[in-house]
Amino acid sequence: MQPTSPAAEVRVFSHHAGLIDEVPVTAPPFGNIQDVVIGILQQRAQQLGAPTPAVITDDRYGGAVRLLIHPDGSTETLPDADC
């Protein structure tokens, strides 16, 4: 299924902090920012009733990945498009 919304811009700074569309997000103690980000994007997909694309830039590792997050929480990697 093709995404119907613009890609969320995600930036991860550490295991506990990041931004989603320039809004700060943090993980709880002993939590992981990846789980928080996927959870927020899953909620967005559920509200839209369609998969949510995201470009995730991870400053910890110096890379970026494009993902599609489905309403059920599953994810798939999208081909790179000059992330």
pLDDT band (50, 70, 90) for residue 4? low
Q: What is the pLDDT of residue 22?
A: 96
- 7, 66 in Cβ contact below 8 A? yes
Average pLDDT, the chain: 90
Residue 83's pLDDT is 45
| 50/2 Cα distance (integer angstroms) | 8
Contact 4, 50 (CB under 8 A): yes
